[in-house]
Amino acid sequence: MTTLTARRAGFDGLLRSEWTKLRTVRSTTWSLVAMAAISVGLMSLIAWLLMRQWPQFSPQDQAALAAEPLQIIIDQPVFISQLIVAVLGVMVVSAEYTTGMIRSTLQSQPRRLLVLSAKVLVFALLMFAVGELLSFAAFFTGRWIMSDHIPVALSDPGITRSVFGAGLYLTVLGLFALAFGAIIRHTAGAITGVLGLILVVSNLTALLPGTWGAHIHAWMPTNAGQLIYKPTLPPDPLLTQWQGLAVFAGWTALLLLVAAYLFKKRDA
């Protein structure tokens, strides 16, 4: 009983320590502020400008905008916010290697897998809370701005799942980037790798020919994960929305396993 209590207290202490490190670092605060500014502020400005110009749009353009309201209030903000989440996820681990703080952390708690588990859990909870808060805030704000021309409600088919899924996507992406940071341990290198995958490699796979190329493109981590916040899919999709998130989560779990192995075996 004494051993079990000590272990629990030790992990609780690790969680508090990781939360303290995460919330007291300026990069975390500014990253979350930037996410809020993009998800709610920039989206609101774009939606307001579009609604101001609504009478000038052709009937075809109006119908296209009305058919996909989440393109404005969810898709575009998430596309930009994911870059911030990726950078923040990398820095959760890599910043400690850059400053040398990782040595102090491992001296105070030599059980490395517990240390990594605490980092993963704290960051996952933070990203889930922030991601869901900003997703629903963006939805309700955007719905209010566009209500005169584009009615949209959570009860519409696929809308609730899409809004909730946007927060889930950002959470998994944060852990995906955290794993990159733990594997590479160099901030610039890990950020380059994650952003290169999101912005370049994932898009280039669309150029691969044939059905095998289509499958590779669909199963790329972020390509699959982004399906979760799409209200509808094209005919005969290779993955459904939840299957896409499962694929992304699978890639993330694999990277976290590699990160855990290397975190345990390599010198600090």
> Residues of 34-73 as b/e, b for ≥16 C-beta within 10 angstroms?
bbbebbbebbbebbeebbeeeeeeeeeeeeebeeebbebb
For the chain, the domains span 2-265
Could you write out the DSSP letters of every residue in 141-190?
A: HHHHHHTTT----TTSTTHHHHHHHHHHHHHHHHHHHHHHHHHH--HHHH
Q: Global pTM?
A: 0.92
Q: Among residues 172, 159, 146, which one has the least CA distance to residue 226?
A: 172
How far is CA 128 from its chain centroid? Answer: 9
pLDDT digits (tens), the chain, 268 positions: 344 443 444 788 888 888 888 888 888 899 999 999 999 999 999 999 999 999 899 999 889 888 888 988 999 899 999 999 999 999 999 888 888 888 888 887 778 899 999 999 999 999 999 999 999 999 999 999 998 899 999 999 999 999 999 999 999 999 999 999 999 999 999 999 999 999 999 999 999 998 999 999 999 999 999 999 999 898 889 999 999 999 999 999 999 999 999 998 887 6
- Here the tokens at position 246 are 């499962």
The DSSP letter of residue 92 is H
Separation CA 152–CA 163 (nearest Å): 12
